[in-house]
A and B are shown apart, each in its own frame.
Chain A
Amino acid sequence: MVRGGGARRRLLSTAGFYALAVVFMLPTVFVFYWMVTLSLKPQIEATAYPPSFVRFSITAAGYREVFTKYPFFLYTWNSLVVATGCTVLGLAVGLPAAYSIAHWRQQRLAIVILVARIIPGIAYLIPWYIFFRSLRMVDTYGALILSHLIVGLPIIIWVMISFFEDVPADLEDAALIDGCTHLGVFWRIALPLVKPGVVATGILSFVFSWNNFLFSVILAGRTTRTLPIAVYNMISYEEINWGTLAAAATLITLPVLLVALLAQRHIVTGLTFGAVKQ
């Protein structure tokens, strides 16, 4: 009797837990669900009221329009190149810096790096344009990669500091006594230990670069323009085509969502390890 009541209570509390879980997570799922269903609806149904949640006619018109009206493949390729370049360069310069900050406790440097992120993005626009123009770099991947670095690098460094702080100092000291150089310690001992962090920050930096649009308007040209601009371009004259807009939104979000799904473990460690230390 008593045990039966306990079981029922447990069952109830489990049910309650899942009910709460659903309530908490429903908004997250719903926004994506809505985005995808809108993208598949014909224009008239997309703006119909009351909206249909499950039963609606499916069309690829929105997607067709996106692909025929905009050089979507080119934009996707540009986004890929810029995000990859930004990530590789960010890791190449960011990892040694993070190691150094963690190893030699250079907290001031960490704050200097943070300043780059604190400056309002709009303040960069005109000076950067003048700067890159004088280097003949406007409308090149180089300018975009460098500009996106301002967003990605602070994240790489700040998250990696925490990873490098967790590398046991004894290991490093032992290697140094054995005649290893700092570079050797960094490369052969510290780096292998923080590999999960490297993957994690790499992915984050990629995602942030992928999502950035403010700099591309000015620094990119027709050949180097990245994806968020494509969506942005559609807003002003096509806001009325909800289906097309949703299709564009879906296409842009899809790659990062896929990356997130495949590498979710790394992203979580990346996002949390930067903050959580034991």
Chain B
Amino acid sequence: MLTRWAHRHAQWLFPAPAVLLVAVLIVYPIAYTGWMSFQEWSASSLSPPRFVGAANYTKILVGDARFREAVGRTIYFTLVAVAAETLLGVAMALLFNREFWGRGLLRTLAILPMVATPTAIALVFVMMYHPTLGVANYVLSVVGLAPFRWTYSSQTALYALALVDIWQWTPLIMLIALAGLASLPREPYEAARLDGASPLQAFWHITLPLLRPALVVAILFRAIDALKTFDIIFVMTQGGPANASETINILLFNQAFSYFNMGYAASMAVALFALVMGASLLLIKVRRSTTW
């Protein structure tokens, strides 16, 4: 009896544990954050949270220049990092898509940055970026370039941070693109060659569209993580110099744990969530239009 019932409802029973677990873990945080975003509270144990309606959201949307800048920076950081990773990753995949001595070694090396602990990697970059004692500027001076300020100037900090992300995640795109290239059918290329298409045209019109579904998922996960980047920025610049590398996540952390604006921080968390969710849905839509 029970087995038959279970069999008939398998499509709900199978995902049930995972869905329940996720629900238990996220429902309370969502409810708490949502509720808190309508309150004003400085974490005081003497005065309870005070309902302020949509005031926090109004402030986010129109009043707070610092938040607006953080949004722009977050998006810019994500675009720079993910675009560079995609371009470099695909370029490397095209280069390495052949039989050569050391292929296994290459694959091994490629996964190392991805699995390395971000906190530890950030620390190493802090030491390398040091403007006078760091090895990065030494290398630049050896090849005859002027020293760079890396994370030590508001003009370059965001890029220097993006570089860490790029260092860590370009190999992922490369591996995914490599796997995609390996599984591509041969026929379209032969047909294209007979039609007299240049390699560039073949790449643009055949390779790229075929790679797209694979790349889109990779980019989706990369974009989600890049929008939420916290570890490396927190370790390396804490949002500085001035506020030059303050992303939403960093500002949100400060609002909650440095300024104790609990309600305001909660509304920022909601805004960040909306931003990431929007980006994700967009990418999922792109993917669905190609497969599924």
Contacts and interface: CB of A to CB of B under 8 A. Distances in A.
Tell me whether A and B are bound partners.
yes
Contacts of A29: 109
Contacts of A277: 213-214, 291
A1 interface: no
Interface in A87-122: 92-94, 96-97, 99-101, 103-104, 106-107, 109, 111-122
A267 B18 contact: no
Interface stretch (A43-51, A60-68, A70-78): A43-51
Interface stretch (B61-69, B126-134, B152-160, B197-205): B126-134
B235 A245 contact: no
A126 to B, nearest CB: 7
A260 B121 contact: no
Interface in B197-256: 213-215, 217-218, 221, 224, 228, 230-231, 235, 248-249, 252-253, 256
Contacts of B248: 120
A106 B29 contact: no
Contacts of A115: 26, 277
B138 A99 contact: no
B269 interface: yes
A252 interface: yes
A97 B18 contact: yes
B6 interface: yes
Query: Secondary structure at chain A's binding surface: helix, strand, loop or mixed?
Result: helix
Query: Secondary structure at chain B's binding surface: helix, strand, loop or mixed?
Result: helix
Given A116-B22, A260-B115, A249 B120 contact: yes
A127 interface: yes
Contacts of A197: none
Interface string A33-62: 011001000000001111100000000000
B138 A50 contact: yes
B29 A119 contact: yes
A261 interface: yes
A272 interface: yes
Contacts of B265: 122
Interface stretch (B50-58, B75-83, B92-100): B92-100
Contact of B138 (A49, A183, A227, A278): A49
In which size bucket is the chain A interface?
35 or more
B84 interface: no
A123 B266 contact: yes
A264 B171 CA distance: 13
Contacts of A239: 126
A120 B127 contact: no
Contacts of B213: 275, 277
Contacts of B124: 31, 34-35, 38, 246, 249
A183 B10 CA distance: 8
A186 to B, nearest CB: 7
Given A21-B106, A49-B138, A268-B111, A231 B92 contact: no
A211 B117 CA distance: 5
Contacts of B29: 119, 123-124, 127-128, 131
10 contacts: A31-B121, A112-B19, A126-B32, A126-B256, A231-B119, A245-B127, A260-B108, A268-B175, A271-B175, A275-B179
Given A25-B106, A146-B21, 19 more contacts: A21-B100, A31-B128, A34-B124, A34-B128, A92-B17, A109-B19, A122-B256, A122-B265, A130-B28, A130-B32, A211-B117, A235-B123, A252-B120, A260-B111, A264-B111, A271-B176, A272-B176, A273-B179, A275-B176
Interface of A: 17, 20-21, 24-25, 27-29, 31-32, 34-35, 38, 47-51, 92-94, 96-97, 99-101, 103-104, 106-107, 109, 111-124, 126-128, 130-131, 146-147, 149-150, 153, 157-158, 181-183, 186, 207, 210-211, 213-214, 227-228, 231-232, 235, 239, 242, 245-246, 248-250, 252-253, 256-257, 259-261, 264, 267-268, 271-278
Interface of B: 3, 6-7, 10-11, 14-15, 17-19, 21-22, 25-26, 28-33, 92, 95-96, 100, 102, 106-121, 123-128, 132-133, 135, 138, 167, 171-172, 175-176, 178-180, 183, 213-215, 217-218, 221, 224, 228, 230-231, 235, 248-249, 252-253, 256, 262, 265-266, 269, 272-273, 276-277, 280, 284, 288, 291-292
